[in-house]
Amino acid sequence: MRKLVRDRMPEIIRAKGETPIVYRAEPDEYRSRLRDKLVEEVDEFLGEDDRDAALVELADVLEVVRALAVDLGSTAEEIERIRSEKAAERGAFAERIIWSDR
């Protein structure tokens, strides 16, 4: 199994007296692994019923989104600006409006 892990994981594994088997991904693989990680973290979030655990998973989703923004040559701040502009133009999801064809 190969999957993207957080930067400090090799250090954490070494601190436990184990030897991590890792390598640094090339840009194309990194981009692909980031997308896989986003799906993984979203699935983990969706599987949580406990509020605090769900917030931890949501924070993980945000960390991956930030990394994806950087990979695209952007920043979390630019993503937030785009989100804010779109919310001002089209609204957010605060009013819980559901589209229905009936």
The per-residue pLDDT for range 70-87, each reduced to its tens digit, is: 999 999 999 999 999 999
Amino acid 102: pLDDT: 84
Q: What angle do CA 60, 30, 32 make, to 5 degrees?
A: 85
Q: How confident is the model at residue 1 (pLDDT cuts 50, 70, 90)?
A: confident
- The predicted-structure confidence for 11-24, as pLDDT tens digits, reads as follows 999 999 999 999 99
Q: Is the entire prediction scored with pTM above 0.85?
A: yes
Contact 22, 12 (CB under 8 A): no
* Predicted local confidence at residue 81, as pLDDT: 97
Q: Is residue 96 over pLDDT 90?
A: yes
